[in-house]
Amino acid sequence: MEGYMKEGRRVYPTEPRKIMQARFATKYLNYLLHALTNIGKPELSSTLDCCVNKEIDKMVRYEVDMALALSAEGFAWSHALKHRLRLNVNNNNHAGKSQSYLAHHDDHRTKMPVNHEPATKKLKGNPKRSGTEAAVEEEEEERLTYLRKLIPGGSGEMMVDDEILLSELGSYVTCLELQVNVLRSMLQLT
User: Which residues between 108 and 127 bind other proteins (CB under 8 A)?
Assistant: 108-109, 112, 116, 119-120, 123
Q: Does 128 bind other proteins (CB under 8 A)?
A: no
The 3 state secondary structure assigned to 13-24 is CCCHHHHHHHHH
Smallest separation (angstroms) from other proteins to the CB of 160: 13
**Options 125, 140, 155, 160; binder of other proteins; rule CB under 8 A:** 140
Question: Do residues 63 and 35 lie in contact, with contact meaning Cβ atoms separated by under 8 Å?
Answer: yes
Smallest separation (angstroms) from other proteins to the CB of 56: 5
Angstrom distance (rounded) from CA 7 to CA 73: 20
Smallest separation (angstroms) from other proteins to the CB of 142: 9
Q: Does 47 bind other proteins (CB under 8 A)?
A: no
Shorter beta-carbon distance to other proteins: residue 37 or 94? 37
Half-sphere exposure of 30 (CA within 13 A, CB side): 8
CA 95 to chain centre: 24
